[in-house]
Structure 1
């Protein structure tokens, strides 16, 4: 679903450009049309987000190996079961190895405070300017 976020964002920009100019003839209903069209991408995400499976890596990190195998098979329907088991074992090994790399947010902020503050500031400025 994360890969579709930029698509929905850019679709929203396109709608924001087209809808006001196309809804001028609607008179008093123009604001309703603009509000309705702006909500369409969000409604699409809401309707279709249930169709997107959880990632096998996330399921493995939560200890749900059976569901991870099912999710992997759903993502790769034409791959033989043996190859899926090999892939699942490799993913499980990676997840197990990466558990030691987790850091707390506060530790990250204290060790790299200035860089973290600069990154947060850039993200806030990006949102404020509408980019």
Structure 2
């Protein structure tokens, strides 16, 4: 039992380091390969990591780790880079929201026979 726990903890550390390095090498945020590694190694795919056997509550672990990760990423964020990306992000977000509102509205109107007002309201709520 103790060996399995230590082996899983070692696997978490090694895979975390490898995933973070892969993120640096690919020039993407480290969170993306870390999430992929966690999903692949977890109970849904490879089932190599079993959180219940570790005796660690995932909610407790997440409540401790997530704020630290977000704080660290906030320290690394360049405000000038963030400001330069504001206009394209706002444009893409606006187009995506409008597309979603009108897409859901059209489906609700034609598939369910709702009025346009209610259909677009439903689209706005779901967007």
Whether TM exceeds 0.5 here: the answer is no
> TM (normalized to structure 1)?
0.28
> TM (normalized to structure 2)?
0.28
